[in-house]
Amino acid sequence: MFNNFEDMNPTPTKFIILALFLMLHACLPNGWTNSQQELLVNDLKTKVGIGNVAHLPKKMQEYFIGCWSGNIINEFSAIEVTSSNISDTSNRVAKFIYAHRESCFGETLEQFEKELNEMGFNVVDPSNPDKEKNVSEKTIQIEIPADSFDNLKSQLEIILASKQSNDEIINPDGMTIKTRFNPPSDFYRILADTGSFAIYLRDLLLKRHGSLVTLYNNSQKPNDGVYAAVVDLNIGRKNLHQCADAVMRLRADYLWWNKRLDEIHFNFTNGFRVDYSKWLAGNKIRVNGNKTSWYKATEPDSSYDAYWKYLETIFTYAGTLSLEKELRSVEWKDMQIGDVLIQGGSPGHAVIVVDMVSNNSGEKQYLLAQSYMPAQQIQILLNPNNSDDNPWYSLNTKSDIIETPEWTFRKENLKRF
């Protein structure tokens, strides 16, 4: 139907087909090899129509058989999607997926609909508003917002990438968080919007596998069971880039690179709010005891050097005490990528959630990153409760205590920007 993703015009009918395949491939078997994975991705670039099921490569057909015991092929192999039957076909397939959601996804109706909504789909049931009855008889329409095309393409790629064999948690050749750390067996990466803070964190570049953390004075931090990887970011030559500083820096960097400059602001420990937009305009800060004020110092400067000086000013006068007050509390079960575990104090500590995965039973796991004292590069933390250097933490733990290699938090310490 389409030669490649770039040729796909964002028409509503093509959104529907792409969305349906997004759901179909959410239960790709974990045991597939990289060559099979490549085969699937390449095939999807040229065969995005449901009607092409009968013509898919043998491995693709094995996938469908494995997921729905051949029912999908029996149901749809004879259909050729055309412009005249696209609406009817998409509804038939959506209805089939909806009716078989539990056997394929292992989810309840509520979980399935919630995940669809989180993925940007609107689930509409025009035939029966009572969603708990006659599910198999429903006509289900899945409507894709016109601005969701790039996001759907990205999510499809993420799902496919995360479904590879996960016998090894750490991929030494991976150079980002997303590619270095495979989800545990039967887990897949949680969907995140294109351009979001979550995607930014997942795509953070890492130093080569086995590298040590570098401190501000160019010495190195031994790895005594603390970290699984090191984020490849410059931290400057001052003893400033510590725990809360690293969290604020990641958030500010994301906003800066995405040109959302008006959203960059942090409070000093004394409560004084420091907006980057004012700094950008050439204003600087005068601190006299506990009194803080702005003054005009230079011409406007949008350079990265000026931005870094802004951050170093934040690092000097802000910390866990101020950041903890700025962030809002969230329920533990509602954790998202980008959330922060923080205890304000002197010293206090803060770590940030940089990735999350889930399985079909609703269990979730997450990765944590930190800087520490003295100022040092950001590192992906190991889980001290795992014996196999597995860095993933379980969200579903019954304990209220969250133990990390260099600090102990409580679930109530979870906060969000």
pLDDT, position 166: 55
Give me the mean pLDDT over the 108-121 stretch.
53
The token pair that represents 173 in the structure block: 């050749």
**Looking at the structure, do residues 144 and 185 belong to the same domain, yes or no?**
no
Give me the mean pLDDT over the 185-202 stretch.
88
Contact 283, 299 (CB under 8 A): no
**Looking at the structure, do residues 74 and 179 belong to the same domain, yes or no?**
no
Domain stops at, among 130, 165, 200: 165
Q: What number of other Cβ atoms are within 10 A of residue 158's Cβ?
A: 19
What phi and psi values does residue 327 have, to the nearest 5 degrees? -80, 155
32-41, 186-195, 361-370, 406-415: segment of lowest average pLDDT: 32-41
**Looking at the structure, do residues 18 and 85 belong to the same domain, yes or no?**
yes
**Looking at the structure, do residues 278 and 149 belong to the same domain, yes or no?**
no
Q: What percent of the chain has pLDDT over 90?
A: 53
The Cα angle at residue 290 between residues 287 and 295, in degrees rounded to 5? 30
pTM: 0.65
Q: How confident is the model at residue 187 (pLDDT cuts 50, 70, 90)?
A: confident
More confident: 34 or 49: 34
Residues 6 or more apart whose CB falls under 8 angstroms from that of 287 comprise 317
Summarize pLDDT for 80-107 with one digit per residue, the tens: 434 444 444 444 444 444 444 444 444 4
pLDDT, position 266: 98
If DSSP codes are grouped into helix, strand and coil, which group holds residue 12? helix
Total count of domains within the chain: 2
Q: How confident is the model at residue 76 (pLDDT cuts 50, 70, 90)?
A: very low
Cis peptide before 374 (omega within 30 of 0): yes
pLDDT, position 177: 95
**Looking at the structure, do residues 52 and 90 belong to the same domain, yes or no?**
yes
CA distances from 106 to 308, 315, 388 (A): 48, 46, 28
More confident: 145 or 388: 388
Residue 299, pLDDT > 80, answer yes
pLDDT, position 272: 97
The Cα angle at residue 9 between residues 88 and 192, in degrees rounded to 5? 90
Q: How confident is the model at residue 190 (pLDDT cuts 50, 70, 90)?
A: confident
Residue 180, pLDDT > 70, answer yes
pLDDT, position 75: 42
Residue 134, pLDDT > 60, answer no
Domain stops at, among 146, 165, 184: 165
**Looking at the structure, do residues 151 and 239 belong to the same domain, yes or no?**
no
CA distances from 372 to 45, 65, 301, 319, 381 (A): 45, 50, 30, 12, 11
Cis peptide before 347 (omega within 30 of 0): yes
Residue 51, pLDDT > 60, answer no
**Looking at the structure, do residues 268 and 340 belong to the same domain, yes or no?**
yes
**Looking at the structure, do residues 159 and 171 belong to the same domain, yes or no?**
no
**Looking at the structure, do residues 328 and 417 belong to the same domain, yes or no?**
yes
Domain stops at, among 144, 165, 186: 165
pLDDT, position 113: 56
Give the mean pLDDT of the chain.
73
**Looking at the structure, do residues 171 and 151 belong to the same domain, yes or no?**
no
Q: What percent of the chain has pLDDT over 70?
A: 60
Residues 129, 360: Cα–Cα separation, whole Å: 26
Summarize pLDDT for 223-270 with one digit per residue, the tens: 999 999 999 999 999 999 999 999 999 999 999 999 999 999 999 999
Summarize pLDDT for 331-386 with one digit per residue, the tens: 999 999 999 999 999 899 999 999 999 888 889 999 999 999 999 999 999 999 99
Q: Which domain holds residue 271?
A: 166-417
Residue 396, pLDDT > 60, answer yes
pLDDT, position 259: 94
**Looking at the structure, do residues 313 and 339 belong to the same domain, yes or no?**
yes
More confident: 335 or 135: 335
**Looking at the structure, do residues 209 and 107 belong to the same domain, yes or no?**
no
Q: How confident is the model at residue 110 (pLDDT cuts 50, 70, 90)?
A: low
Which stretch of DSSP H or E encloses residue 188? strand 188-189
pLDDT, position 351: 98
Beta strands in 12-109 (DSSP E): none
